[in-house]
Chains A and B, each alone.
Chain A
Amino acid sequence: MKPLNFDALTNFEVPEEWIEKALSAKPKKKPIILRPYVIGSAAAIVLAVGITVFAVATLKNNSQKPNAFVAAPMATVETTDSTARPEAQPETTDSTARPEAQPETAAQTEPATQEATAVTERPVPPTLPYTGATVETTEDESSKYQMSTEWFTDVRSVRPEPWGQAPGSPSVEPPKLDISELYTGDVIIKAAPDSLFYESARIDVSITATHKESGARFSGTVITAPEKDENGEAVTRFNFFENNVYIPDDCEYTFEFIAYDENGDFIPDSYKTVKLTPTGDQTAEITI
């Protein structure tokens, strides 16, 4: 038998080509931008910035609608083109979606114009930038206003509330009212220095009433921000008609007041109910 000669294997000649290739090999270094720690750091920074931006945006939005929980709208009335007040509401179909786009009350029909003019002369003139109420008028009933059954007004915020979330429709078709049947006056709320409402940053006013003739119930919430006047009282004012909230006069209204401090916390015992029957364009002054 032939003996195994392992030395034959050790005489194995490595091709020169292999050695040349190994000598010319250079380690491939990744460009610095592709190194994992650079990519990771960049991703972390982007993520952190994104989260910060999102948080800031969220906080900003929340600060603009602190009362979103207060008055979730119950229903909304469909809007059609208004021929009675074309210059007053040229974009009536968008009135619920873009309330800030609504023209000022000065552009409304004559009685409303006069009212708006008077408003500017009042000592406590906080503007009412938004209401979710809508109006329906037709050519045949140009002087009729659909009574508002639900509404929400935030005196302080121009941000519209989502009216589309209305869970149901009113059980009674809201009646159409003539201008003479509407309550168009101001509601002025005053809080004396000894009142629990005096130091409040926000007063929520819930208003409910029932229309005598049709039996239609209507209700709404007005968020107000009282301001101190020269008489040392905290005063706030709002006007339903100016904000396209059409409610009948000569009904007994129930006003419920609740005060909140600047942190949005309920001020204990600051609950008050007032019954009132406003008429025409008379100013209703309530001291709480």
Chain B
Amino acid sequence: MATAYAGLSYEQVVRKYSRAVAGVCVMRLQNHADAEDCFQNTFVKLLTKSPSFNDEDHLRHWLVKVAMNECYSFLRKNRRTLSLDEARDVPDLRSEDERDVSWALMKVKPDYREILYLHYCERYQISEIAETLGRNPNTVKVMLKRGRDMLKEIYGGDEI
């Protein structure tokens, strides 16, 4: 019997939330091969743990949280540095705009980058980011502000 996740089948969940999970992994790890590992592990965990979800938001938060934890675990196990050039070589499937934003984001410190990504790409509210990252909402707000400033300084953009 197929398990339902907030009313969705496993395949539907994978197809619907693959971009969110992949985005978190790529943003955090800056490497497609590593991001793919974490991406797969996230969905394997969904299969093995079979948690029950109240709604799709709950499911989405769970997936993003698990993906982040997978990335943290991966980084703990495989501590290594990645040059920006190497990172820039990877996203061959992205547009120029995308590469520019990625390049700018990757120069931001990882903690700030994560918050910026969740807020601007995944459209997370401050409270949701705080809940997902286990931080105080005020802290998230301050970090978001600082992250924005950093990004502005790096990228030189006026409209963030």
Indicate the size class of the contact surface on chain B.
35 or more
Closest to A2 in B: B157
How many A-B contacts are there with CB distance less than 8 Å? 86
CB distance from A8 to the nearest CB of B (A): 4
- Asked whether any CB of chain A lies closer than 8 Å to the CB of B112, the reply is no
**At the interface, yes or no: B10 with Cβ under 8 Å from chain A?**
yes
What's the nearest-Cβ distance from chain A to residue B159, in Å? 4
The answer to whether A10 touches B40 (Cβ under 8 A) is no
Contact A4 B151 (CB under 8 A): yes
With A and B bound together, what is the CA distance between A14 and B94 in angstroms?
Answer: 10
B101 touches A18 (CB 8 A): no
In the complex, the answer to whether A9 meets B23 with C-beta atoms within 8 Å is: yes
Given contacts A2-B100, A23-B10, whether A13 and B93 have CB atoms under 8 Å apart is yes
Q: Does B142 contact A (CB under 8 A)?
A: no
Closest to B10 in A: A23
Interface SS of chain B: helix, strand, loop or mixed?
A: helix
- Contact indicator per residue, chain B 77-113, by CB within 8 Å of chain A (1) or not (0): 0000000000000000111011011101100000000
Q: How large is the interface on A (under 10, 10 to 19, 20 to 34, 35 or more residues)?
A: 20 to 34
Chain A residues within 8 Å of B98, by CB: 8-9, 11-12
Using a CB–CB cutoff of 8 Å, the interface residues on chain B facing chain A are 10-11, 14-15, 18-19, 22-23, 26-27, 36, 39-40, 43-44, 47-48, 93-95, 97-98, 100-102, 104-105, 117, 120-122, 151, 155-160
B157 smallest CB distance to A (angstroms): 4
Contacts A5-B97, A8-B97, A11-B95 given; does A22 touch B151 at CB 8 Å: no
**Which of B18, B102, B159 has the largest number of chain A CB atoms within 10 A?**
B18
User: A residues 1-30 with Cβ under 8 Å of B?
Assistant: 1-6, 8-15, 18-19, 21-23, 25-27
Q: Which residues of B contact A2 (CB under 8 A)?
A: 100, 155-157
